[in-house]
Chain A
Amino acid sequence: MTAGSNLEKILKSGQKAVTCECGPPRGADAEHFRHKASFLKGVGDAVNVTDNQTAVVRFCSLAACRILLDMGLEPVMQMVTRDMNRIGLQSNVLGASALGIKNLLCLTGDHQSFGDHPQAKNVHDLDSVMLLHAVKTMRDEGKMISGTEVQGRPAMFLGAAANPFADPQEFRVVRMGKKIAAGAQFIQTQCIYNMERFTKFMDMANDMGLTEKAFILAGITPLKSVGMANYMKKFVPGLDVPDSYIARLRGVPKDKVAAEGIKIAVEQIHQCLEMKGVAGIHLMAIEWEEKAREILEAAGLLPRPKV
């Protein structure tokens, strides 16, 4: 065990893990965040807290993670290299560890031009791979990037993201391997809709031995509406939502679209879990946290195991 988090224990016990996601609000409304998070209690093994996702200002991941801990939920703190340099990043990792956070997902982050402050300066002193390496080195060797010794090593279970659908296609697995080599112990993928391409991705990951070195959690985002499906297909780079899903959503009465979206998500969960090397599911029910339980129950993933 490197951190002894619930997520680490479940994955290392060989059971399929489930992580959920909860985005902090665009303001200081902690109650709103607690309310959304309350739907995830007992639903996932850990809950990802996004770090100003899509470059939109929200209350910070670190504070939101601490709120989750107080609620008895285990957080996965997301951290992007867009907004802080190596001084700020390392400092926040140490502070997060001091507050009891045990899972860290290292990301580069969405470009600020997609967010609500497109005139912002970005930092990118490090990228996600270097952040992984930096935290691993602090944890395992007790040294900061500068070589300074840390007084109290941050015990973090380290994760990274992977997008199997971006280009160049044949390099996506290699890049995931790079993240694993740098320190990633678990991987949460981008939302999967194109099962064929994801299957190829997993085949390559198995062939390269990466599924022996890290736990891969397949990213699932239920489609709430036809509009959302179209948006994902058209505007999110690398996310190709197959027309067959869109046709299914269109083919049901309006009041049944959400139910059909959930049905699709459950099917996708089953398909992913059947693939060799998939160690669990990362359910990103975006602004739909209240449906996470229903989806996971239907997928047969509840109740969550105790380890």
Chain B
Amino acid sequence: MVIAEAKPVAEILDMIKDFKKVVVAGCKGCVTVCNAGGEKEVAILAAELRIARKAAGSDLEVKEYTCERQCDPEYIEPLDDLVADADAVVSIACSVGPQYCAARYPFKPVFPGLNTTSIGGAVEHGVWKEFCQACGSCIIGDFGGLCPIARCAKQLLNGPCGGSSQGICEVGKGAIPCIWQLIYDRLKNLEQLHKLQEIPQYKNWSTSRDGGLRTTIREELKQ
């Protein structure tokens, strides 16, 4: 799923400092699962903004709404009336959400309340890690099912580099496992270490964002 985390409230307050009435729009998709932009977080952020502005002597009216999803135009629609009556929108979906809002409401300012951090998953309660960079042509089958593009700081296809020490990557102050150690261990388990002696093909980055904006089309689903 898409992982995101809240921006500091001070940053959001600065974005909306010129407005008196805003909509805080959450999303019931990924950001609800990673506790960053669901119904609960909408209520918390709305309260924080109201309190801060009241303390600053400039009251802020905040309307709350949590969309089913913010990555489908039809689910943005329920915001129409609230937005019509507001000065601006703070979306706490992943960064897709504010962009859908911006597209739907051409004359309203829209601000992101979250930083979208990665495509990943939970590894323990309260901890999410990156697993994918959406390069558009998955190669993890060659690497024991683990991704060196997303999970190696240097995106090595021929790792591990000299900075791998006792299973830990030199980047990240000891907090990041060396994915190449994990790839090595896994291929050893699978008796496929010979795979690491082959020199991989040059990566074709044209399917990644380097090739320009990506559009996924499923002809059979198009109307």
Contact = CB atoms under 8 A, between A and B. Distances in A.
B158 A178 contact: yes
A130 B165 contact: no
Contacts of A177: 197
Interface stretch (B17-25, B54-62, B81-89, B166-174): B166-174
Contacts of A113: 153, 171
B158 A128 contact: yes
A126 B199 contact: no
A22 B164 CA distance: 26
A276 B82 CA distance: 78
A167 B202 contact: no
Contact of B181 (A110, A134, A168): A168
A190 B163 CA distance: 11
Interface of B is mostly: loop
A166 B156 CA distance: 15
A130 B163 contact: no
A108 B156 contact: yes
Nearest to B198: A178
B8 interface: no
A296 interface: no
A237 to B, nearest CB: 4
B192 interface: no
Given A145-B202, A181-B199, A166 B154 contact: no
A161 B185 CA distance: 23
Interface string A159-174: 0010101111001001
Nearest to A145: B202
A124 B202 contact: no
Given A166-B164, A171-B184, A174-B196, A129 B154 contact: no
A282 B200 CA distance: 29
Interface in B133-159: 153-159
Nearest to B194: A174
B199 A167 contact: no
Interface of B: 153-167, 170-171, 178, 181, 184-185, 196-197, 199-200, 202-203, 205
22 contacts: A111-B163, A111-B170, A111-B171, A113-B171, A124-B154, A124-B155, A127-B154, A127-B158, A130-B157, A145-B202, A166-B162, A167-B160, A167-B165, A167-B178, A168-B185, A171-B196, A177-B197, A178-B158, A181-B199, A237-B163, A237-B170, A238-B165
